[in-house]
Chains A and B, each alone.
Chain A
Amino acid sequence: MSEVILLAHGAGGRKSADLIRDLFLRHFGNPALNVLGDSAVLEIPGGKVAFTTDSFVVDPLFFPGGDIGKLAVCGTVNDLAAAGARPLALSAAFILEEGLDLDTLERVVASMARTASEVGVPIVTGDTKVVPRGSADRIFITTSGIGIPFVAQRQTPPQPSPQRGGGYPPTLPPRCGEGWGGVCLCAPSPECAAQGDAVILSGTIADHGMAVMTCREGISFESEIESDCAPLDTLVASMLEACPDIHCLRDPTRGGVATSLNEIAVQSGVCIEIYEPAIPVNENVRVACELLGIDPLHVANEGKMLAIVPQECAEAVVEAMRAHPYGRRACVIGRVQERPAGRVHLRTALGSLRILDIPAGDLLPRIC
C-alpha cells in the first residue's frame, strides 16, 4: 500500500478494497463487519432502541489524553449512555483528505478499535470517502450507535430498599407515561427534571476543552492537563442500578456544563441552581482558564455525566458513582427549582447569585 491516502482509496475499486481489508478489518474485525454487506444485520431484543449519531472534527487529531478516534467511540457511547442505554453496535464513516499519512490513519483506527474493545461494542459497518487535498482537514469521522435501555432489561420490579425507609416514593415526572410499581422506567430525558431534584456531576470539568486549547497555535502553555475522554456506559449502568428513576442524563460536551443545564432547564420548564464551590475543577485547569479568561463551565468535557435525580436517590447515586473509576469525584452540585423556568442560576462562594448563560460561540482567549 502507498504511504498516503489517495483519491483512489475512496473510489470503490481495488485500492478501496485493500484499505478496508488491510486497515479497517484488521483493527475492527468482527462477525457482523466481516460479512462486508451493504448493511449489518443484528439480533436485538424487542422493545425500545436508542439511536444516536455524532461527527468528530477535532483539531489537533492527537491531544493529551486522547485522539479523534477515541473521541469518536466515546462520544457516541456516551450519548447512548445519556439515554440510559447500553451500546449494542456502532458504525464509523470516514472522510479522508487526499495526502493524509497512512500512519496517522492507522493510529486513529487502532485507537478506535482499542476503545471499542474496552467498551465491548463492535463497529459493524462503515464507509470511506476521500476528498481532494484542501477539502477536509485530514480526518472527519462520523459514528452512529444503537443501544438497548439498561432499565428495560430488568425482569423484576425494583425492590423496596430498607435504607430508604422501605419503599420507592412515587416520583413520576410530569410528562411520564410509563411506570412500574410507582417507579418511572422510561428513558432519562431532558424534559423530565422536576422541582426538588438533585443535580449530580460525575467529576472535574473543563479538562478536555483546555487540553485541546493549550495545543492551539498562538496559545503556548505547557501543562499536564489531559482530556477526560472516557466511555461512561458502565458508570451509567451502576447509576441506574442505584436509582432506576433517574430523570435526566447528559454528557456536557460542546458548550460545557452551562449549555447542558440551560438546555435541560428550558426543555423541562424548570430553574436549576448550582453552587459554584461544589463544582470540581482540577487546579491546573483552573489556572489555564484564569490565564485565558475562560469560564470552566463553558468548556467541553468528553468523559463526564450530569444526572438529575429525585432528591431521595441522590446519596445512593453519588455513592455508586464514586465506586466507579470514572466517577471518583462525583458530587451533588445543585438543585432543581420551579422558578424562574428556563433559567440556570449560579450561587457564588460569596453567597451572591448570578445567571449562568451559555457561551456566545467558540471559546476564545482574552487579554481583557
Chain B
Amino acid sequence: MCLAVPMKVVEIVGDTARVEQEGVSRKVRIDLLGGVELGDYVLVHAGIAIERVRPEEAEETLRLMRILDVEIR
C-alpha cells in the first residue's frame, strides 16, 4: 500500500513544494516533514511528502551491497 516515488524539491512556498524527477513535476504538501530544503529528495505518496530520503544512508546501503558483490564473485 505504498507507491511512493523519490522526487527532488525544486521550489518551496509555505506548506507546499514543487518536486521533480526527470521533467515530471507536481506540487506536494510538505507540512508533515520538518525542515525540508531545496535539493532534498522526498518520497511522494498521494500528493504528500511522507519522508525525506537520506543520501548518506542510501550510499551506505549500496556500499554494503557492492562489498558483498565483490566477495561473492
Contacts and interface: CB of A to CB of B under 8 A. Distances in A.
Contacts of A367: 1, 3, 45-46
A366 B3 contact: yes
Contacts of B55: none
Interface string A269-299: 0000000000000011011101101000000
Interface string B1-44: 11101000000000000000111111100000000000000001
B3 A286 contact: no
A284 B22 contact: yes
Nearest to A290: B5
Interface-central residue, A224, A283, A290, A293, by most chain B CB under 10 Å: A290
A284 B20 CA distance: 10
Chain A, interface size category, equals: 10 to 19
Contacts of B22: 283-284, 286-287
Interface residues of B, number: 14
B45 A220 contact: no
B23 A368 contact: no
Given A287-B5, A368-B2, A225 B45 contact: no
21 contacts: A220-B26, A220-B27, A221-B25, A221-B26, A223-B25, A224-B23, A283-B22, A284-B24, A287-B5, A287-B21, A287-B24, A290-B3, A290-B5, A291-B3, A291-B24, A291-B44, A366-B3, A367-B45, A367-B46, A368-B1, A368-B3
Interface of A: 220-225, 283-284, 286-288, 290-291, 293, 366-368
